[in-house]
Chains A and B, each alone.
Chain A
């Protein structure tokens, strides 16, 4: 664990500290800034828009309630995603008890054209022949088939754009393990997507 003085306090962390002192507007700013990122995180874990929004709301509630214990130990986004990840584990466990989770969310924009067609340099590949919905389904299916330990590393590194070091902090595992999981996840995704494309 890094020491407090080693952490450069980012703007978000400053807002969180202000909120800790009682500034509710600071918290509103944080919600506005990170709301979309959180929904994306949960949606990538499981493509269910409603579930993603519910989880996001719950994460904000937890952050609000836990503000008294907040200390700057990492970037705020790392802290937030750690809360989100822990919440997702709870949701995942409770849903597994209830039954299998839905795999695909039929979003209103699922038929939107252009996902495959808009990919740069993909015109000559089979990807270009797939509709947006098909490609989306293929990718989400492939993500769903990853082991959860690899999927969460992949989502954090690839879709949230975090460094391996940050991912390691969120998951509380060594950086080497993060890279190893990422390596395996990318290999498996490549195989799964290759099979689907062919």
Chain B
């Protein structure tokens, strides 16, 4: 586990000395091996291909983002248009509904008025007929029933009950 070690100047000088001792060997390795490493043609081609792919992907993504933004703007515009249309439609609807309500109220009032006028005229007519005697006073019923047993006898053509069915003698029947 490393900690934040302090490094005094004495050790630093020693480090420099040790590095200098190794430098001959390591310089040779660096010069002869590492510096000689050149990216191979295959590697260059692979990196080139990769970069081309990345750039293409990037450009396409950018175009997609741009087209998405355009689409979003168009949708937003359409939404705004619809909203304004809806608002205008709502105004028209409000006006229409208020007009319809006013007409409805007017119609109801007219019907009620006509009905009350009609009722008033009929009451007046009845009162006038009562005054003329054409009508019984209110509450009286004119009796139109035919008196059958009030001694007036049978109606013309009707056979009296006594004559139609004479009473039998029960003793005579027993004999």
Give A residues with C-beta under 8 Å from B.
24, 27-28, 31, 35-36, 39-40, 43-44, 49, 52-53, 56-57, 60-61, 64-65, 109, 112, 114-116, 118-122, 127, 132, 135-136, 139, 149, 158-159, 173-177, 179-183, 186-187, 189-190, 193
Contact = CB atoms under 8 A, between A and B. Distances in A.
Interface string B29-59: 1111111111110110011001100110000
B22 to A, nearest CB: 6
Ranked 8 nearest A-B pairs via Cβ: A115-B32, A119-B28, A179-B7, A174-B4, A53-B43, A180-B5, A186-B18, A176-B5
A180 B18 CA distance: 13
Nearest to B19: A186
Contacts of B33: 115, 136
Residue with the highest number of chain B CB atoms closer than 10 Å, among A122, A179, A181: A179
A113 B113 CA distance: 126
Contacts of B18: 183, 186-187, 190
Contacts of A27: 51
B54 A118 contact: no
Given A127-B25, A186-B19, A176 B4 contact: yes
12 contacts: A24-B51, A53-B39, A57-B46, A60-B47, A112-B32, A119-B27, A136-B29, A158-B19, A176-B4, A181-B2, A183-B14, A193-B25
Nearest to B31: A118
Given A173-B2, A177-B5, A179-B12, A36 B39 contact: yes
A182 B5 CA distance: 12
Given A35-B39, A176-B7, A182-B15, A139 B25 contact: yes
A186 B39 CA distance: 29
Nearest to A182: B15
B22 A186 contact: yes
Contact of A186 (B15, B36, B42): B15
Contacts of A24: 51, 55
A40 B34 contact: yes
A31 B7 contact: no
A158 B28 CA distance: 12
Contacts of B22: 186, 189-190, 193
B16 to A, nearest CB: 10
Given A28-B51, A60-B50, A176-B4, A116 B28 contact: yes
B37 A39 contact: yes
Given A40-B34, A114-B32, A190-B18, A57 B4 contact: no
A190 B21 contact: yes
A127 B26 CA distance: 12
